[in-house]
Amino acid sequence: MNRKSDIKKAFISTIPVFAGYIALGFGFGVLLSTEGFGALWALFMSITMFGGSMQYAAVDFLADAISLAEAAVMTLIINARHLFYGISLVDKYKGSGLKKIYMIHALTDETYSLVSSDVMPKGIKDKQFYYFIVSLLDHCYWIMGCTLGAVFGTNVTFNSEGIDFVLTALFLTIFVEQWLSSKDHASAIIGVVCAVLCTALFHENMLIPSMILILLSLVVLRYVRRGKLDGK
């Protein structure tokens, strides 16, 4: 009964991600199909890669037939932020056993926003199981969206220009939702300021510098706040 209750609460928590992933995954599937890759490609990529921005980039990688070395470097740059996600989840995922292997694979921006939140549904009996189900459900939503999009794109001809903007729209929606649900906006402000600053300085190479700057800023913020608490 406890497991069923936790699954139900995880499903309710992931409904916004479901809406976003169906749309975002659908867009990916359509774009993939325009390059001549069918639903099986979309299914395989969504299961093994499970990375929104990376999969969108991979469409161009496949179309341009870039080298494995170039693909590896681009993957590292695009997904560098997951290094910082992982560090911040070490304590939350501790003691999750073999489930941790899958939870690491299934970690995305949206899943991270749910499992890292300080506000959890009331009545959760097993937090590790809840994190696992959230990760699994989000992955299933993504697989569904990607596959449906590829099937649709393969069988229906239409102008797909601009459909990749759904990725940006989803990020903005998550940012706004977290801003409205939290009273502490310090980390959000730090993220925006660091991203804007690094974009001005490094242009298209801003991702890794901004992640490093954000990490350092958050460490300093935590140190300052802890110092104030100790001072009391």
- What is the Cα–Cα distance from 188 to 179, expressed in whole angstroms? 7
CA dist 181 and 199 (Å) reads 27
Residue 132 has a pLDDT of 93
- Domain end residue (candidates: 133, 162, 191): 162
Strands (E), 42-198: none
pTM attached to this predicted model: 0.70
Check residue 230 and give its pLDDT: 58
pLDDT at 200: 92
Q: Look at residue 129 and give its three-state secondary structure.
A: helix
pLDDT above 60 for 229: no
Residue among 145, 97, 94, 143 at smallest CA distance from 115: 94
Q: Are residues 92 and 201 in the same domain?
A: no
Domain that holds residue 202: 183-232
Whether the predicted pLDDT of 135 surpasses 60: yes
Q: Is there a domain that residue 169 lies in?
A: no
Closest CA to 74 of 84, 63, 66: 66
CA distance 214 to 13: 27
Of 162, 192, 217, the residue at which a domain comes to its end is 162
Say if CB 53 and CB 27 are below 8 A apart: no
pLDDT tens column, 20-68: 889 888 888 988 888 888 899 999 999 998 887 788 878 878 877 777 7
pLDDT of 151 higher than 90? yes
Given a cut of 70, whether residue 170 has pLDDT beyond it is no
Determine the Cα–Cα distance for residues 194 and 175; give it in Å rounded to an integer. 15
pLDDT for the residue numbered 87: 80
Q: Evaluate whether residue 178 is within a structural domain.
A: no
Same domain, 88 and 26: yes
